[in-house]
Structure 1
Amino acid sequence: MKKHVLFLFLLVFVHVLPSFGQEAKYIFYLIGDGMGLNQVNLTEIHQAEVQHKDNPIPLVFTQFPHVGFASTHSLSNGVTDSGAGGTALAVGKKTKNGVIGMDSTGTVPYKSIAYAAKQKGKKVGIITSVSIDHATPASFYAHQADRDMYYEIGKEIVTSNFDFFGGSNFLKPETTFDHKKAPSLFPILEKAGYNVLKGKDAYAQLPNKSDKIILMNSDGSPIDALKYAIDQKPNDLKLADITSAAITSLHKNNTNGFFLMIEGGKIDWACHANDAATTIQEVLDFNASVQLAYDFYKKFPNETLIVVTADHETGGLGVGNGSSSLKTKFLSHQKTSHAELSNAIGNLRKNNPNATWDDLKNLIAAQTGLFSKITIHETDRSALEAAYQKSFVDHQNETAKSLYASDDKIAALSISILNRMGSISWA
């Protein structure tokens, strides 16, 4: 199954300065990774359906006064990846897939808009809902021939001298690209003057606000990404928390302004897993950070520029599957992401070796609304029951793999059925 397909054009939403040609003092550059036109449309349609409104409820950025289009192909592929896509957005030049901030040969470094802002005396922040060394954020501060050079990318934070970084963590803080043990990034970053903060309240509790901050998940939390918005608890670090801290930090004692890149990175992850309900919540989570940027704009309307865009679309999302009557409201019955549903099914199998079909059906019903709130077709019920037989009775567990997940096959099948019932298709 194709998990990553091309949208040749993506929308770019811009809230411009009142005076044409005026240089912006404060720049917000927000990137919804994998957020194509249909991800935006689905979210607005779904919000209207659950609130019983006739027309789509617009997101903050779809109300901006200026809209443009951007092509997304890379130099090497019709379907870009986040390395080439991020580089194009950061630099204004295309490169081949997998390359970060360099030309297609991986030998000539490019200067990003973030570096240009820093050279003009602005403070610079790079934040994301995934790891700080992931492809899109890396494209703004690093220059590497391979997006998987996580340790090498992380070290470039020091040479960037940017002021604020935020995300889940670092993927390989002690291991080089060639799998060799290396000095931990954290002492290196601290020696360079960065105050490494962990957890939701860490920035607010910092007694003396440092000029250089790295804000990330607390110890024991996932390092690869923040939790999906649909799975988050009150104490979990959210993209909006990082955005708020970044704005406060960058604006403090600053007469030259700032550049802040904000990535909603897990829109892409949810779409790779073909999980529409989780995708909607990720778009709304991203929109919350756009709202914070817009709130800042309202305080400084003559000095603030906001750009909202995406690096590519993911999944080939389709809204509507043969009928003009949409039922995206069914997606609101899903209470957890594909990952957490998979974990719940795995725990049922582990903790209750004699779990019955009714036990599994009740779990699926509680998490997705299937069977309890949504009447499913007999063929779908039979498919789920057959999957139960194979997994729980015959002990032949199967997984559904996407770029960032390996889910229980029953979880993937349940979400696929819910997608279809909710008028959603994927390429």
Structure 2
Amino acid sequence: MKLAKKSAKYGLMFMLAMMFMVGATVGNAHAKGAKYVFFFIGDGMGLPQRAASSAYLGKKLAIDAMPAQGLTTTFAANRFITGSAASATALASGVKTNINYIGMDPNFKPVKTVAEMAKEHGMKVGIVSSVSLDHATPAAFYAHVKTRNMYHEIDHALAASGFDFFAGGGLKDPSGKKSEDPMGDALEKAKANGYKIIDNKDAFMALKPGDGKVLAWNAWLQDGKALPYVMDMSSKDITLPEFTAKAIEMLDNDKGFFLMVEGGKIDWACHANDAAAAIKNTLAFDDAVKEALAFYEKHPKETLIVVTGDHECGGLTLGFAGTKYGSNYDILNTQNVSFQKFTDETLVDFKKKGGDFAAMKPIITAAFGLKFDGDAKKDPMVLADYQAADIKTAFERSMSGDKVKGSEYLLYGSYDPLSVTLTHVLNQKAGLGWTSYKHTGVPVSTSAIGVSALTFNGSYDNKDVATKIMGAMGLPAKAQFVDSSMEQMATN
């Protein structure tokens, strides 16, 4: 009996010792922090966008299969429905701020970003976006300005950041043509600071580690200095997954890296209520995440991947009264061009040549698959009389060239009347609806895999995403402010 008690005693001591050792190991691993950190932000990618894309694909997105899944609120400091600047600042720094502020708290005090913290700790840093690199989301990781519209000042902040890799869209005002206080050419400043400027696919794909700091963009910038919509791209264009893969190749080093990748045109497509463009850009964003997952498979104990959205956009609903419980997302495949390309190219060309609605009908069918003749009961692409009438009215408004006014905004928003009406009709046939041309307050999903990933389970605010990443990196999990010299520069 004594021997049994003695054995049990030693057994308990052994178990306690093992538990202590395991706890110490886990604690040390956390203290060391994630060596490779990926932060993916789907701009405008709320719960509906992810669900619609998954349904269209017919299987789970890679981001939805991650082991940690959280629900994240997005409100700004001064408004329930946030904007990209306020949301990105919270995601980058852990500080709530006002609409349009970049890297500043509500009192215009500059906040330190997780990217800047990573750089301070010897990690390489990369920023990738499918929209302009000085747009709100990417800017919030390296700039500190009073408004997101200070593109020239943001461009100079990029050039002075010291970050190692910028790629995707271009810059909106590097020369200062739109600035009240031009600071000189930001691209020349970037070159002086060691950046290699690249504007074509061949040179970009030829980049090798050791080529130094990079500032690169796609040759064709479709709108607002952004990449083309995925459905409008050709083999000459650099895709978001390709930008991401090259970023990983260029940033990989023994001290680790932080990489932020934004799928910005998900948001732009949703503003225009173009479901096909939004979904295909969401799938490209998911493919970019797969590049990070491939890296994670090689470094599972050192890598953290976090995926979130900054807000929902468009009030996308997965259901439409006209189809009741019916959904047929395959219908979206009949759309061959984005609303943007149809507006900028097809309609511009049509207006030059001239023509009536009868001449436009075959063009609509070729671009969107909508048919004006046939049996609607047998062919879902055949338009009902009221749909054809709505399209004709929108065509006449587009041809008039008059700006949308008053209550017409509910029909067309700020977009070309014919283009947005065509996407509305097609989306409704697929079983999708929209409630807004702006952002909404719907929460977003946050997903994670890797070091400290389980801390991203549950329900929390977008500012907590930043502090959770800081903690996973072994940094103090709290918001920090920049030094007084930076504060003086930011407030000037």
TM-score by length of 2: 0.76
User: 2-side partners of 1:139 and 1:357: how far apart?
Assistant: 46
Q: Identify the residue that residue 8 of structure 1 maps to in structure 2.
A: none
Measure the CA separation in 1 of the matches of 2:220 and 2:349: 27
Secondary structure of the corresponding residue to residue 318 of structure 1: coil
Secondary structure at the counterpart of residue 70 of structure 2: strand
The equivalent of 2:60 in structure 1 is 58
Q: Judging changes above 3 Å, is the alpha-carbon distance between structure 1 residues 401 and 156 closer, same or farther for their aligned structure 2 residues? A: farther
Displacement of 1:413 in angstroms is 1.0
2:209/2:249 contact within 8 Å kept: no
1:205 offset after TM fit, Å? 2.6
User: Structure 1 residues 227, 396: closer, same or farther in 2, change over 3 A?
Assistant: closer
Within a 5 Å distance, the mapping from 1:5-404 to structure 2 comes to 22=30, 23-48=33-58, 57-106=59-108, 108-175=109-176, 178-206=179-207, 209-218=210-219, 224-251=225-252, 254-322=253-321, 323-353=324-354, 355-371=355-371, 374-389=381-396, 391-392=398-399, 395=400
Partners of 1:325 and 1:47 in 2: CA distance: 17
In structure 2, distance between residues paired with 1:349 and 1:176: 33
CA distance in 1, matches of 2:26, 2:273: 43
For 2:167 and 2:358, the matched residues in 1 are separated by 44
3-state secondary structure, aligned to 1:99: coil
Report the Cα distance in structure 2 between the residues aligned to 1:183 and 1:25, rounded to whole angstroms. 37
Q: Is the 8 A contact 1:152 1:176 kept in 2?
A: no
Contact 2:129–2:263 (8 Å) recurs in 1? yes
Match of 2:447 in 1: none
> Which residue, 422, 427, 431 being the options, matches 1:423?
431
SS at match of 2:250: helix
1:408 equivalenced with 2:416 (yes/no):
yes
Sort the Cα spacing of 1:182 and 1:59 in 2 relative to 1 into closer, same or farther, 3 A: same
1:345 deviates by 4.1
What runs of 5+ residues in structure 1 fail to find an aligned partner? 1-17, 49-56
Equivalents in 2 of 1:193, 1:361: separation in Å?
53
Deviation at 1:240, TM superposition (A): 1.5
Where do 5+ consecutive residues of structure 2 fail to align? 1-24, 373-378, 436-492
CA distance in 2, matches of 1:315, 1:248: 35
Shift of 1:61: 0.8
**Could you tell me how far apart the structure 2 residues matched to 1:105 and 1:176 are?**
28
Q: What is the alpha-carbon distance in structure 1 between the residues aligned to residue 183 and residue 220 of structure 2?
A: 21
Deviations 1:344-372 (A, max 9, x none): 4423433432x243321111111111117
The structure carrying a bigger helix percent of its residues is 2
Deviation at residue 204 of structure 1 after TM alignment: 2.9
Per the alignment, residue 470 of structure 2 pairs with none
Residue range with higher mean Cα deviation, 334-343 or 219-228: 219-228
How many positions carry a matched residue from both structures? 394
Structure 2 CA distance, aligned partners of 1:213 and 1:98?
A: 28
How far the C-alpha of 1:384 sits from its partner, in A, is 1.9
Opposite residue 84 of structure 1, the aligned amino acid is A
| Alignment correspondent of 2:445 | none
Q: CA offsets, 1:19-38, max 9 Å, x none? A: 67531110000000010000
Report if the CA contact (8 A) 2:209-2:250 is conserved.
no
Q: 1:112 to 1:177 in 2, by over 3 A?
A: farther
Larger radius of gyration: 2
* C-alpha separation in 1, matches of 2:61 and 2:208: 36
Structure 2: distance between partners of 1:142 and 1:345: 38
Summarize deviations over 1:44-70 as a string: whole Å, max 9, x none. 11122xxxxxxxx11111000011122
Q: Which string of whole-angstrom CA distances, capped at 9 and with x for unpartnered residues, describes residues 156-181 of structure 1?
A: 12332111111211001111664355
Deviations 1:298-337 (A, max 9, x none): 1111111100001111111100124222122211111111
> Cα 1:104–1:396, aligned 2, differ >3 Å: closer, same or farther?
closer
Q: Given that residues 345 and 411 in structure 1 are in contact (C-alpha distance below 8 angstroms), is that contact kept between their aligned partners in structure 2?
A: no
Distance 1:241 1:349, change over 3 A: same
Q: Is the CA contact 2:272–2:339 (under 8 Å) kept in the aligned structure 1? A: yes
Residues 1:315 and 1:335: Cα distance change in structure 2 (over 3 Å): same
Contact (CA 8 Å) 2:220, 2:237: kept in 1 or not? no
Say whether the 8 Å CA contact 2:292–2:305 is kept in structure 1: yes
Q: What's the TM-score once normalised by structure 1's chain length?
A: 0.87
> Could you say if the C-alpha distance between residues 396 and 89 of structure 1 is closer, same or farther in structure 2, counting changes exceeding 3 Å?
closer
Letter in 2 for 1:40: R
Provide the identity percentage: 36
Note closer, same or farther for the CA distance 1:423–1:300 as it changes in structure 2 (3 Å cut): same
Distance 2:88 2:98 in 1: 11
